[in-house]
């Protein structure tokens, strides 16, 4: 059975399929990019039982969802089952849900002075995602909603820009009450094939020579339009198995037909080179300009020209992590060693990277935990949000199908490995 969602190619068509209204906003970053935000509209809730003035509006708890590399806001509403779409799941539970779009993807290809046709438009990397996109988007949302802070939920690169953004923008830690990282990508292990591993470690000049200085794999978008979806699914399954060793068995064939149509939007070659530098060095570092021309002084460079690392241990926002045991892009031990004590960790046995967007069972294995986290770290909406201390969440439960994972005593987390 073919889902009508398979033929929806834009956010508007997809959200209309689910019978929701939405708003489109544009954030002007400090370096003059215009980023598109999608917000699901919901009827305002009024406070009747907790106030003598029944007309007082309750300030809704705000959540910002941010996609991964080459993706868009579409991924948050691309599950064929409505309750598996995190954006809709949270909206139905009273949250004010916003979805970001990184510079360069099809919804954020505008700049006040630069054209996407020119190479200078594409001169951005994770540095800019962390320095501008993430904080400027959050400031816009808080100003628009009047909320004192929000919860940030990222997937893959959406987590990396938050790790970077929270570390180099200290004031953001007071504006993000909780950071939920799904399939965090700040410590990727690299590729499974030795030839690809060698390509990753090549000099940036070689990579730029092969890929250009503008859009990464622009031809994929073209081929995606002309290849039939079943064949495209087989190509993607083969590609991710070759690149990362993933099997993609936790997603149904029908789900792949829909979700794989939303895997590729545009990004810069420079951002890919930045990821290659991170993989090659084993450090979550800023882009290496060789020599570095970066203006930030949050950390110091060291001898032999090592570019500065993002100072992620300085993050004070509570962090919750969800990752799969089969995700070859996540090295949890390295990630944990570079972060402050975590508030919550959940490892799901057999899950891979993309499963946190599209796997069967998301609504049972991930979303209830997210709700508990949101309830714990968000103050009641009608009360001042000044919290004296952000304490780790203490959830002590293990499903009957689950087994506990032993972790260091100094990390106050609940880690659960869920069997299939």
User: Would you call 247 a catalytic residue per the annotation?
Assistant: no
**Torsion angles phi and psi, residue 28, rounded to 5:** -95, 110
Task: Report d(CA 345, CA 356) in Å as an integer.
Answer: 14
Listed in order, strand segments (DSSP E) in 301-389 are: 319-324, 344-348
Q: Confirm if 65 and 73 have CB atoms less than 8 A apart.
A: yes
**pLDDT level of residue 265 (50, 70, 90 thresholds):** confident
What is the rounded average pLDDT of the residues 184-212? 70
Provide the 8-state DSSP code for 14.
H
The single residue of 78, 108, 125, 156 carrying the catalytic annotation is 156
Greatest mean pLDDT among 16-20, 243-247, 276-280, 409-413: 16-20
Helix (H, G, I), strand (E, B) or coil at 224: helix
Average pLDDT, the chain: 82
User: Quick one: tokens of 48?
Assistant: 């009747």
The single residue of 136, 327, 331, 355 carrying the catalytic annotation is 327
User: Would you call 360 a catalytic residue per the annotation?
Assistant: no
Q: Beta strands 110-111 and 22-28: pairing type?
A: unpaired
- For the cut 60, the answer to whether the pLDDT of residue 208 exceeds it is yes
- Homologous superfamily of 10-191+313-418 in CATH? Alpha/Beta hydrolase fold, catalytic domain (3.40.50.1820)
Q: Confirm if 390 and 402 have CB atoms less than 8 A apart.
A: no
pLDDT at 75: 96
User: Would you call 167 a catalytic residue per the annotation?
Assistant: no
pLDDT at 130: 97
CA-based Rg of the chain, rounded to a whole angstrom? Answer: 21
Q: Confirm if 20 and 99 have CB atoms less than 8 A apart.
A: no
pLDDT tens-place string over residues 103-153? 999 999 999 999 999 999 999 999 999 999 999 999 999 999 999 999 999
Helix (H, G, I), strand (E, B) or coil at 196: helix
pLDDT at 394: 45
Task: Report d(CA 336, CA 284) in Å as an integer.
Answer: 12
What is the rounded average pLDDT of the residues 255-277? 90
- For the cut 50, the answer to whether the pLDDT of residue 306 exceeds it is yes
Domain range summary for the chain, segments of one domain joined by +:
10-191+313-418
CA-to-CA separations, 157 to 183, 249, 271, in angstroms, rounded: 9, 22, 10
Task: Report d(CA 402, CA 420) in Å as an integer.
Answer: 9
Q: Beta strands 96-99 and 110-111: pairing type?
A: unpaired
Q: Confirm if 312 and 381 have CB atoms less than 8 A apart.
A: no
pLDDT tens-place string over residues 14-71? 999 999 999 999 999 999 999 999 999 975 444 443 344 433 456 789 999 999 998 9
pLDDT tens-place string over residues 186-199? 877 666 566 666 66
């Amino acid at each position: 059975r073919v889902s009508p969602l398979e033929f929806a190619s834009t956010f508007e068509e997809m959200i209309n399929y689910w019978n929701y209204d939405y708003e489109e906003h544009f954030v002007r970053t400090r370096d003059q990019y215009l980023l598109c935000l999608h917000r699901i509209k919901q009827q305002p809730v009024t406070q009747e039982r907790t106030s003598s003035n029944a007309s007082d509006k309750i300030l809704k708890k705000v959540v910002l969802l941010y996609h991964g590399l080459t993706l868009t806001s579409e991924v948050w509403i691309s599950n064929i089952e409505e309750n598996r779409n995190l954006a809709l799941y949270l909206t139905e539970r009273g949250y004010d849900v916003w979805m970001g779009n990184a510079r360069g993807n099809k919804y954020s290809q505008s700049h006040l002075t630069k054209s996407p046709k020119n190479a200078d438009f594409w001169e951005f990397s994770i540095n800019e995602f962390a320095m501008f996109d993430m904080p400027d988007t959050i400031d816009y949302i808080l100003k628009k909603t009047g909320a004192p802070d929000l919860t940030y939920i990222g997937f893959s690169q959406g987590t990396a820009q938050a790790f970077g953004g929270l570390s180099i923008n200290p004031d953001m830690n007071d504006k993000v009450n909780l950071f939920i990282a799904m399939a965090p990508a700040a410590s990727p292990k690299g590729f499974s094939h030795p030839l690809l591993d060698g390509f990753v470690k090549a000099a940036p000049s070689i990579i730029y020579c092969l890929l250009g200085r503008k859009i990464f794999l622009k031809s994929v978008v073209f081929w995606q339009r002309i290849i039939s979806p079943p064949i495209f699914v087989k190509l993607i399954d083969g590609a991710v198995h070759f690149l990362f060793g993933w099997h993609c068995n936790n997603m149904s064939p029908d789900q792949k037909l829909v979700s794989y149509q939303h895997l590729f939007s545009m990004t810069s070659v420079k951002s890919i080179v930045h990821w290659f530098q991170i993989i090659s060095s084993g450090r979550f570092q800023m882009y290496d300009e060789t020599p570095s021309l970066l203006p930030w002084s949050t950390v110091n460079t060291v001898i032999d020209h090592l570019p500065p690392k993002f100072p992620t241990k300085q993050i004070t926002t509570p962090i919750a992590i969800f990752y799969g045991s089969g995700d070859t892009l996540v090295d949890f031990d390295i990630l944990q060693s570079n972060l402050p004590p975590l508030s919550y960790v959940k490892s799901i046995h057999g899950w891979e990277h993309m499963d946190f967007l599209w796997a069967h069972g998301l609504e049972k294995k991930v979303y209830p935990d997210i709700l508990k986290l949101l309830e714990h770290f968000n103050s009641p909406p009608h009360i001042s949000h000044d919290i004296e201390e952000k304490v780790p969440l203490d959830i002590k439960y293990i499903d009957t199908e689950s087994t506990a994972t032993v972790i260091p005593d100094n990390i106050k987390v609940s880690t659960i490995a869920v069997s299939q």
